[in-house]
Copies of this chain bind each other. A is one copy, B any other.
């Protein structure tokens, strides 16, 4: 068995590598529009979102697993970068890059943890379990709030239409947390009515 020090060294190597997620810049800005947010602070924010909004899941979830899932869900972006949902990219190519990133980064951990973290990340990616479906809903809804707070935020930049937002985002939020989408719908509709050319 590896010594405790060897084990802690591997764990700290992973945690130091994870620090790089703070330098991955996302498509969405902060709620005051001052700058784009990074994937590290985003990961904190959506873990907090999940903690606060757990009661609105439309099926039984284990919120503790959801939070852990969200804490690691973007780690692969250290190698793969952020891919904005409205940005347009090749899904198959991205998946291969993200799988390789997961191999490398979770592989820094001691083997038992590498396996457990990878399984949790795979579950999130598969988006089939109740926990993953709710986690995906939360991951999708936070940028919407950010864009609403900044008068549409980056929607104009990505030429997002009301229909695209419904198809790419609304459907996924509704799948795990329909009440949250319903609560935001009036603000969303209002923004698109005011900002869509007739």
Show the binding face of A for B, using Cβ within 8 Å. 4-5, 8-9, 11-12, 14-16, 18-23, 30-32, 34, 37-38, 40-41, 43-45, 47-49, 51-53, 56, 64, 67-68, 71-72, 109, 113, 142, 145-146, 149, 179-180, 182-184
Contacts and interface: CB of A to CB of B under 8 A. Distances in A.
A32 B32 CA distance: 27
Contacts of A183: 4-5, 8-9, 12
Contact of A51 (B12, B71, B182): B71
B51 A146 contact: no
A20 B32 contact: yes
Contact of A44 (B34, B40, B51): B40
A40 to B, nearest CB: 4
A113 to B, nearest CB: 7
Contacts of A16: 31, 145, 149
Contact of A8 (B45, B56, B71, B113): B56
Name the prevailing secondary structure of the A interface residues: helix
A30 B18 CA distance: 11
A109 B8 CA distance: 38
A142 B14 CA distance: 13
Nearest to A3: B183
24 contacts: A4-B183, A5-B182, A5-B183, A12-B184, A15-B45, A15-B52, A16-B149, A18-B45, A18-B48, A19-B32, A19-B149, A20-B32, A22-B30, A22-B41, A23-B32, A23-B34, A38-B41, A40-B41, A47-B71, A51-B68, A51-B72, A52-B113, A64-B67, A67-B67
